[in-house]
């Protein structure tokens, strides 16, 4: 299989200390959309997501729930699977870091690093943030607290095995220089480069005090630090070094939150270099969502549950909003009023209105739908495809919506409702083909809505190669409006 014919996309694997929320729904929906897009291209796709189930934070959460860690993680992991099913996430594999195959792969991968002389035993001393599972130096602390989450840190001193990250500083800088897309989006690129240029220190990769972890191969007193364990999921899920690993690796894109960008953009490629494994093509670090201008948390009462939200408005409305409200990669603010505005404006007035008007007119017309492709000049499939290659969902939707609005304008400018005969045949041909093509382009973003459009048009769902005007062969039959208007303040 040629590399161009395959596409491998991953989400972060999510900590099982809490239920799914809008923050981890965001990259999961983004990964689902790009996976569906590449399937529309006719490519063989592997879409991986899952749960990160080891570490001190998980152990403490299980203790607080008065449950054994495995029992605890089983319950939370299931909640993720249920949420992703509700939200239409079309993953090919859901990995759990407690899977036996993953545990075996971690041991084999670390043994490879040891064999290559990149692991040594020493003693670690520093400040540790339990919630973030991260170590910090005195200089990195902010007012004596974790620089990432602002919570208390504790002093840790223990024996540890270290990975020789410093050895790979020059190779990493060469990687960034030769492959501009590796660090994406561009707004995060220079921050990583500057930090690497400032000097890399070897990193602790084991703990002796945390037992809910993968045993370190060759030393029963040490356990693999959770970040090492977690990163390896991207190859263990493919059956490395055999299985589908040979088909899909290297990953085309790892989608991650900006808070874990360092692990993925620096430590992960260095570990792969040590193990002699080809590097992924892109690390894309997305931004954060706030809620009403504040960081989301249950204590503040602004925690957004995507499942309950989708039952209130619809799954497709939530999927659309997440990709439409801000460019992917930047930070954004979640507001239910903004969601309602998108639904009433773009989904009801633009898309829903177009499909409903066209099908109403088509049902009344007794004749063939035929003519010249007047609307095709407003369609930019190449531009949309290029935007999707950059994970520029916002830009792709802008171009799709420009076509939808041009189609609505075509109805009004030509007063299509008043046309007859050949003129009506030509107008409806253009509008029905426009709706058919929109159903394909919107499918990755709003799969249920796209299927509904295709069904009402009486056509089969097409692929990207079908996004051009041709003979309309459907039998239109109007159904209900795609979206209902919602009340606003």
pLDDT tens digit sequence for 34-47: 999 999 999 999 99
Domain boundary among 265, 287, 309: 287
User: Which of 4-8, 138-142, 411-415 holds the top average pLDDT?
Assistant: 411-415
Same domain, 83 and 160: yes
Please compute the mean of the pLDDT values over residues 440-458 and round it to a whole number: 98
For the chain, the domain total comes to 2
Q: Is residue 294 part of a domain?
A: no
Answer yes or no: is 366 within a domain.
yes
CA torsion through residues 304, 256, 258, 125, sign: positive
Residue with the two structure tokens 């990207």: 464
Are 358 and 248 in the same domain? Answer: no
The mean pLDDT value for 405-414 works out to: 98
Q: How far apart are the first and last CA of the chain?
A: 54
What value does the mean pLDDT take over residues 212-241?
96
pLDDT of the residue at 126:
79
Task: Specify whether 42 is located in the same domain as 158.
Answer: yes
What is the structure's pLDDT at 299?
55
Residues 130 and 51 in one domain: yes
Answer whether residue 96 is part of any domain. yes
In a domain, 23, yes or no: yes
What angle (nearest 5°) sits at the alpha carbon of residue 28, between those of residues 25 and 34?
140
Contact 232, 105 (CB under 8 A): yes
Q: Identify whether 245 is part of a domain.
A: yes
What digits encode the pLDDT tens for the residues 104-130? 999 999 999 999 999 999 988 878 887
Q: What are the DSSP calls for 172-189, one per residue? A: HHHHHHH-TTTEESHHHH
Is 484 part of a structural domain of the chain? no
| Residues 55 and 187 both lie in one domain | yes
381/383 Cα distance (integer angstroms): 5
Residues 57, 185: one domain? yes
| Cβ-Cβ contacts under 8 Å for 463 (sequence gap 6 or more) | 40, 41, 42, 440
Q: Which of 301-315, 322-336, 427-441 has the highest mean pLDDT?
A: 427-441
β-pairing verdict for 203-204 and 154-163: antiparallel
319 is a domain residue: no
Domain contains 222: yes
> Tens digit of pLDDT for each residue in 80-94?
999 999 999 999 999
The DSSP secondary structure of 421-448, one letter per residue, reads: HHHHHHHHHHHHHHHHHHHHHHTTT-HH
Mean pLDDT for 276-291 is: 94
pLDDT at 459 over 90: yes
Q: Per residue in 170-190, pLDDT tens? A: 999 999 999 999 999 999 999
Q: What is the DSSP string of 43-109?
A: -EEEEEEEEE--SHHHHHHHHHTTS-HHHHHHHHHHHHHHHHHHTT---SEEEETTSHHHHHHHHHH
Q: Which domain holds residue 379?
A: 335-466
Q: Is the pLDDT of residue 242 over 60?
A: yes
CATH number at residue 385: 1.10.730.10
Residues 283 and 344 in one domain: no
Nearest residue to 72 (alpha-carbon basis) of 85, 83, 60, 82: 60
- Indicate whether 240 and 387 sit together in one domain: no
Provide mean pLDDT across the span 126-148: 77
Residue 259 sits in the same domain as residue 387: no
pLDDT digits (tens, 9 = 90+) for 182-211: 999 999 999 999 999 999 999 999 999 888
**Residues 384, 269 share a domain:** no
Angle at which helix 315-324 crosses helix 306-313, to 10 degrees, equals 110
Instruction: Give the helix/strand (H/E) hosting 195.
Output: helix 186-197
Q: What is the pLDDT of residue 158?
A: 85
Q: Are residues 354 and 415 in the same domain?
A: yes
Average confidence score pLDDT of the chain? 93
Domain stops at, among 287, 314, 348: 287
Q: Residue 298: what pLDDT? A: 57
């Amino acid at each position: 299989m040629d590399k161009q014919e395959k596409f491998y996309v991953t989400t972060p694997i999510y900590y099982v200390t809490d239920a799914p929320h809008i923050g981890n729904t965001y990259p999961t929906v983004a990964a689902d959309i790009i996976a569906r897009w590449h399937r529309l291209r006719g490519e063989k796709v592997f879409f991986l997501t899952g749960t990160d189930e080891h570490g001190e934070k998980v152990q403490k959460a299980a203790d607080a729930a008065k449950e054994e860690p495995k029992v605890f993680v089983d319950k939370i992991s299931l909640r993720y699977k249920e949420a992703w099913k509700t939200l239409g996430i079309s993953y090919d594999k859901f990995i759990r870091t407690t899977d036996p195959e993953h545990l075996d792969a971690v041991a084999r991968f670390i043994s490879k690093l040891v064999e290559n002389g990149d692991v040594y035993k020493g003693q670690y001393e520093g400040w540790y943030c339990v919630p973030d599972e991260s170590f910090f130096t005195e200089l990195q602390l902010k007012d004596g607290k974790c620089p990432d989450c602002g919570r208390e840190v504790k002093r840790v001193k223990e024996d540890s095995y270290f990975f020789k990250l410093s050895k790979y500083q020059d190779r990493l800088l060469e990687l960034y220089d030769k492959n501009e897309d590796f660090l994406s989006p561009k707004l995060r690129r220079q921050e990583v480069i500057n930090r690497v240029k400032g000097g890399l220190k070897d990193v602790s990769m084991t703990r002796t005090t945390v037992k809910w972890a993968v045993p370190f191969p060759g030393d029963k007193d040490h356990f693999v630090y959770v970040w090492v364990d977690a990163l390896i999921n991207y190859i263990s899920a493919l059956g490395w070094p055999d299985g589908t690993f040979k088909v899909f690796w290297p990953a085309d894109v790892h989608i991650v939150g900006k808070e874990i960008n360092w692990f993925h953009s620096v430590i992960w490629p260095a570990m792969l270099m040590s193990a002699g494994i080809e590097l992924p093509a892109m690390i894309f670090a997305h931004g954060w969502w706030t809620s009403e201008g504040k960081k989301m948390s249950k204590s503040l009462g602004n925690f957004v549950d995507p499942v309950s939200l989708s039952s209130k408005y619809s799954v497709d409305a939530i999927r659309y909003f997440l990709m439409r409200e801000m460019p992917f990669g930047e930070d954004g603010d979640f507001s239910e009023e903004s969601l309602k505005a998108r639904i009433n404006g773009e989904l009801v007035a633009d898309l829903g209105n177009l499909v409903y008007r066209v099908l109403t007119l088509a049902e009344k017309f007794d004749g063939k739908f035929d003519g010249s492709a007047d609307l095709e000049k407003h369609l930019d499939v190449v531009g949309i495809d290029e935007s999707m290659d950059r994970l520029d969902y916002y830009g792709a939707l802008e171009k799709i919506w420009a076509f939808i609005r041009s189609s609505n304008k075509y109805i009004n400018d030509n007063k299509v409702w008043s046309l007859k005969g050949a003129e009506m045949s030509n107008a409806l041909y253009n509008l029905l083909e426009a709706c058919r093509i929109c159903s394909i382009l919107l499918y990755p973003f709003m799969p249920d809505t796209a299927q509904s459009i295709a069904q009402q048009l009486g056509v089969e769902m097409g692929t990207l190669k079908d996004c051009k005007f041709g003979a309309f062969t459907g039998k239109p039959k109007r159904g209900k409006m795609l979206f209902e208007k919602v009340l606003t303040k």
